[in-house]
Amino acid sequence: MGCYFSKKVRKTPGYEDPTVLASETPFTVSEVEALYELYLKLSNSIIEDGLIHKEEFQLALFRNENKKNLFADRIFDLFDVKRNGVIEFGEFVRSLGVFHPNAPLEDKIAFAFRLYDLRQTGYIEREELKEMVLALLHESDLVLSDDMIESIVDKTFKDADTKDDGRIDQDEWKAFVSQHPSLIKNMTLPYLKDISLAFPSFIARTEVEESELSELA
């Protein structure tokens, strides 16, 4: 076995063994190591404590630490599995794993459901859906009349809420996504397919087992 994680690499407070993370996610060990380099950058961009705070997440996404965005907030909260206000390394890798092109479709569908279940009731409710549409309109130049918004939300609910109980449950969501696969296109990040090749500057600073290097060759 090679020393595939160098002792010269700093360990953050929430550091986890890349081999364990690779075994639980679609990533290889070398890709987890590349993600660690990325994680170190992100987690020390404002507060140098090796943990990703919401401001650092927003800075990375928008180049602005103060930009408010409903969906970025929800994604941060879902990544922050321990709910301690920061994204630790293991949380970062496991959560990004869901966005990997090879991640199970079920995981992507479930993650998207939790994203849209703003109040975490186990259902996507009509008011939540309207709130999300309004949030999108607020950040974009798209202008829709209130009548149009109501009509779109009504139509979507009519199609998705097949039990007609005024809320979308997980089974209804799965069925709706199977009819409209584009709904989870945001759940796949092509970048992750081979992050160590897409971001060679990250992998260049890590040590990888020779066998893995030969696989990449």
Partner 1 sequence: NNLNAFDIISFSSGFDLSGLFEEK
Query: Which residues in 124-163 contact partner 1 (CB under 8 A)?
Result: 129-130, 132-133, 135-136, 139-140, 142, 148, 151-153, 155-157, 159
> Would you count residue 32 as binding partner 1 (CB under 8 A)?
no
Record the tokens describing residue 103, joined without a space.
């991640």
Q: At 18, which amino acid appears?
A: P
Instruction: Tell me which DSSP letter residue 159 carries.
Output: H
Task: Pick the piece of the chain touching partner 1 (CB under 8 A) from 16-24, 103-111, 189-197, 204-212.
Answer: 189-197
Record the tokens describing residue 151, joined without a space.
């009509």
CA 106 to chain centre: 15
User: 211: buried, middle or exposed (CB in 10 Å: 19+, 13-18, 0-12)?
Assistant: exposed
Instruction: Tell me which DSSP letter residue 162 carries.
Output: T
Query: Which residues in 83-122 contact partner 1 (CB under 8 A)?
Result: 99, 116
How many whole angstroms separate alpha carbon 152 and alpha carbon 18? Answer: 45
> Would you count residue 182 as binding partner 1 (CB under 8 A)?
yes
Residues of this chain that interact with partner 1 (CB under 8 A) are: 38, 41-42, 45, 60-63, 69-75, 99, 116, 129-130, 132-133, 135-136, 139-140, 142, 148, 151-153, 155-157, 159, 180, 182-183, 185-186, 189, 191, 195, 198-199, 201
